[in-house]
């Protein structure tokens, strides 16, 4: 699973995303994807300021 696709899935299908987390589906991929996309977004935010 691509890193930003995890973030897009969270935005598009929040209920399904949360249900997948509760069931433990691709949990490591989701954690890693959200961690990397968050780090990139924070880096962009700090560069803009």
Radius of gyration of the chain from its Cα atoms, rounded to whole angstroms: 12
Q: What is the pLDDT of residues 17-35, one digit of tens each?
A: 999 999 999 999 999 999 9
Query: In whole angstroms, what is the distance from residue 49 CA to residue 35 CA?
Result: 21
The pair of three-digit structure tokens given for residue 41, joined into one six-digit string: 């977004």
| Per-residue pLDDT at 49 | 81
pLDDT band at 9; cut points 50, 70, 90: very high
Query: What percentage of the chain has pLDDT greater than the value 70?
Result: 98
Domain count, the chain: 1
DSSP state of 49: -
Query: In whole angstroms, what is the distance from residue 37 CA to residue 2 CA?
Result: 10
Range of the domain at 32: 3-48
pLDDT band at 1; cut points 50, 70, 90: low
Mean pLDDT of 4-16: 95
């Amino acid at each position: 699973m691509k890193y930003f696709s995890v973030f897009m899935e969270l935005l598009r299908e929040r209920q399904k995303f949360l249900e997948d987390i509760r069931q433990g589906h691709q949990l490591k991929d989701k954690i890693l994807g959200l961690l990397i996309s968050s780090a990139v977004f924070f880096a962009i935010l700090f560069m803009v300021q």
